[in-house]
């Protein structure tokens, strides 16, 4: 794991966007794994401003709420089109987001896994982290070998996400998420975490034991993971001086 501490989320997102832009130029048909939530917004803003050529890019999103209409303002379909896709020249057919309204969810999930394989696997996966250490919507105690499937959100995640829905009651209980095993097969991973609420889950994920109680800790086993932090999210890591020194 490479831990990169920047003074602000803006600074971290700028450099992370540059890494993605380089990859897009080197491999125009790159396969990206994308994330939603407040964290990647800065990154997407940077990428939009770079005017890159996305015509041959394929994307797979991590997760989606079950039962929320696609056009619902809080669906991740809507989030991705509003915050990234409608601002770039990506081909609609190359965009993949789990279908939270699939009639046969296990069948849909198996197909999603198959589509990722058929695309040649994910070259670069963008991740955020939940306050409980989740990646995608793989909540604590998720199997570290899990594949794309339906999951039930924890109370804590529903509380965290109620800020987007206006109230906790409106947050769906179920989601479809790529599994941890699926995420671990990405060639490269960029995890972004900003703000003081991420300090504890980040310290546990980066310096604690590998445990399904903090799903992000499994990334210690991933060979090419970069963790981008702002000063607040890095405030509880014990070896911050070392990480800063290595990056100089
Ligand atoms: P956030 O969510 O970016 O809205 O903090 C991150 C996550 O739940 O993965």
Q: Which ligand 1 atom is nearest residue 157's CA?
A: 8
**Which residue's structure tokens are 């290595």?**
246
Please give the backbone phi and psi of residue 29, each rounded to the nearest 5 degrees, phi first. Answer: -100, 35
Give the residue numbers annotated as catalytic, written as ranges. Answer: 63, 132, 134, 139
Ligand 1 center–CA 102 separation, angstroms: 24
Across the strands, what pairs with 188?
124
Question: In the prediction, which pLDDT does 188 show?
Answer: 98
pLDDT tens, N- to C-terminus, the chain (248 residues): 999 999 999 999 999 999 999 999 999 999 999 999 999 999 999 999 999 999 999 999 999 999 999 999 999 999 999 999 999 999 999 999 999 999 999 999 999 999 999 999 999 999 999 999 999 999 999 999 999 999 999 999 999 999 999 999 999 999 999 999 999 999 999 999 999 999 999 999 999 999 999 999 999 999 999 999 999 999 999 999 999 999 87
Residues in contact with 226: Cβ distance below 8 Å, sequence separation at least 6, in sequence order: 1, 2, 4, 16, 19, 188, 189, 190, 191
Residue 128 beta carbon below 6 angstroms from any ligand 1 atom:
yes
Residues in contact with 73: Cβ distance below 8 Å, sequence separation at least 6, in sequence order: none
Residue 39 beta carbon below 6 angstroms from any ligand 1 atom:
yes
Pairing of strands 95-96, 174-177: unpaired
Question: In the prediction, which pLDDT does 239 show?
Answer: 95
The string of pLDDT tens digits covering residues 41-53 is 999 999 999 999 9
Question: In the prediction, which pLDDT does 248 show?
Answer: 78
C-beta separation of 235 from 207 below 8 A: no
Ligand 1 center–CA 30 separation, angstroms: 24
Nearest Cα residue to 52 out of 77, 16, 28? 28
**Burial, 238: exposed, middle or buried (Cβ in 10 Å; 0-12, 13-18, 19+)?**
exposed
Question: In the prediction, which pLDDT does 247 show?
Answer: 83
The string of pLDDT tens digits covering residues 58-113 is 999 999 999 999 999 999 999 999 999 999 999 999 999 999 999 999 999 999 99
Which structure tokens are listed for 110?
Answer: 């198996």
Q: Which ligand 1 atom is nearest residue 194's CA?
A: 5
What is the value of pTM for the model shown? 0.97
Instruction: Give the integer Cα–Cα distance in Å for 48 and 86.
Output: 10
Q: Which ligand 1 atom is nearest residue 127's CA?
A: 9
Ligand 1 center–CA 37 separation, angstroms: 5
Nearest Cα residue to 107 out of 117, 115, 95, 119? 115
Nearest Cα residue to 130 out of 191, 190, 78? 191
Instruction: Give the integer Cα–Cα distance in Å for 243 and 227.
Output: 11
The SS3 assignment for 33 reads strand
Question: In the prediction, which pLDDT does 227 show?
Answer: 97
Ligand 1 center–CA 238 separation, angstroms: 23
């Amino acid at each position: 794991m490479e831990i990169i501490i920047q003074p602000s989320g803006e600074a971290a997102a700028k450099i992370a966007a540059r890494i993605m832009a380089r990859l897009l130029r080197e491999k125009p048909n790159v396969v990206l794994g994308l994330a939603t939530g407040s964290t990647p917004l800065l990154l997407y803003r940077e990428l939009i401003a770079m005017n890159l050529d996305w015509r041959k890019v394929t994307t797979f999103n991590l997760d989606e709420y079950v039962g929320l209409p696609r056009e619902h303002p809080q669906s991740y379909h809507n989030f991705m089109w509003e915050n990234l896709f409608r601002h770039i020249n990506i081909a609609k057919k190359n965009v993949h987001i789990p279908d939270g309204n699939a009639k046969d969810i296990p069948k849909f999930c198996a197909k999603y896994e198959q589509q990722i394989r058929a695309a040649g696997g994910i070259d670069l996966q963008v991740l955020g982290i939940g306050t409980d250490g989740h990646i995608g919507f793989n909540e604590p105690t998720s199997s570290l070998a899990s594949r794309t499937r339906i999951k039930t959100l924890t109370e804590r995640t529903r509380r965290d996400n109620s800020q987007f829905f206006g109230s906790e009651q409106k947050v769906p209980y179920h989601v479809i998420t790529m599994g941890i095993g699926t995420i671990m097969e990405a060639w490269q991973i960029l995890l972004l975490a900003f703000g003081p609420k991420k300090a504890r889950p980040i310290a546990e994920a980066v310096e604690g034991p590998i445990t399904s109680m903090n799903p992000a800790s499994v990334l210690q086993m991933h060979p090419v993971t970069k963790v981008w932090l702002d000063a607040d999210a890095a405030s509880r890591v014990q070896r911050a001086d070392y990480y800063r020194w290595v990056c100089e």
